[in-house]
Amino acid sequence: MLTRDVADGIHRIEDAYTNWYLVEGDGGLTVVDTGVPTSWRSFRSALRDLGRSPADVKAVVLTHGHFDHLGFAERARKELGVPVWVHEDDVLLTRRPRRYGNERSPFAYMATQPRALPVVAAFLRTGAHFPKPVAHVRRYEHGTLDVPGTPAVVPTPGHTLGHCALHFPDRDAVIAGDAIVTLNPYTGARGPQIVARCANADSERALASLDALAATGARTVLTGHGEVWRDGAESAASAARAAGIS
Ligand SMILES: [Zn+2]
């Protein structure tokens, strides 16, 4: 489902309780994260709704390499001929999306969390667990990416080791990916928090990375799961610190 202009020129699409974004910029569009495999349909229909064509898309940027954000990345790369950017430390995940180094088994964990069952069902229905590996990626580390929207990379390791948020200072917005979420897909809990430890490489590091997110000072926080947070990155980070590790 498309929600236009969640921040200036940033459109949000939610599939299977997972958010991804289309960012308007000079010279075209950047796709930030690519949802689940069936998100390709949402992608085509969002472009139509926005009066855009696939040729307007110039890049895919991944906040991290988890399966539920890799959905149509490889298809976009092949069919649109655009680069797929990912942080250096998450390259391995894009090649082997189901083998990520996390603290506990997410699937066993989810089964014990009744409020997470709608998410489990949506993941199963949309083939979320089975994205195509990305054959070639373009690596980033820090700085500002030369893609439409020119996001500044904010390293936020912990959820994955290469996780990064993307800051758009001119739009007072940050795409946080899964560095902070307002719906925890693994417990079903709402409100700003880090993702449950079963899906984190290092939860303590994820908590520490909230400082970098807060330091952006962005008013609008766009998360990988859950609703838009409009009360600023600092308040989101302090709520997430208070919520702690689940
Ligand atoms: Zn994730």
Range in 8-12, 183-187, 218-222 the model is least confident about: 183-187
100 Cα–ligand 1 center, Å? 10
- Predicted confidence (pLDDT) at residue 231 exceeds the cutoff of 90: yes
51 Cα–ligand 1 center, Å? 30
112 Cα–ligand 1 center, Å? 19
67 Cα–ligand 1 center, Å? 7
CA–CA distances in Å: residue 31 to residues 194, 230, 238, 241 = 23, 21, 29, 29
- Predicted confidence (pLDDT) at residue 38 exceeds the cutoff of 90: yes
What is the longest distance spanned by two Cα atoms in the chain? 47
125 Cα–ligand 1 center, Å? 18
69 Cα–ligand 1 center, Å? 7
143 Cα–ligand 1 center, Å? 22
124 Cα–ligand 1 center, Å? 16
18 Cα–ligand 1 center, Å? 10
% of residues, the chain, pLDDT over 70: 96
- Predicted confidence (pLDDT) at residue 83 exceeds the cutoff of 80: yes
144 Cα–ligand 1 center, Å? 22
- Residue of higher predicted confidence among 90 and 110: 90
- Predicted confidence (pLDDT) at residue 174 exceeds the cutoff of 90: yes
Distance between CA 158 and CA 127 in Å, rounded? 25
Looking at residues 85-91, what average pLDDT do you find? 97
- Predicted confidence (pLDDT) at residue 111 exceeds the cutoff of 80: no
What pLDDT sits at residue 102? 65
- Residue of higher predicted confidence among 118 and 21: 21
164 Cα–ligand 1 center, Å? 11
225 Cα–ligand 1 center, Å? 9
Q: Which of 235, 230, 240, 223 is nearest to 64 (CA)?
A: 223
Strand arrangement, sheet containing 28-32? 2-7, 10-15, 18-25, 28-32, 57-61, 84-87, 138-140
pTM here is 0.95
Span 114-133, pLDDT tens digits: 888 888 888 888 888 888 99
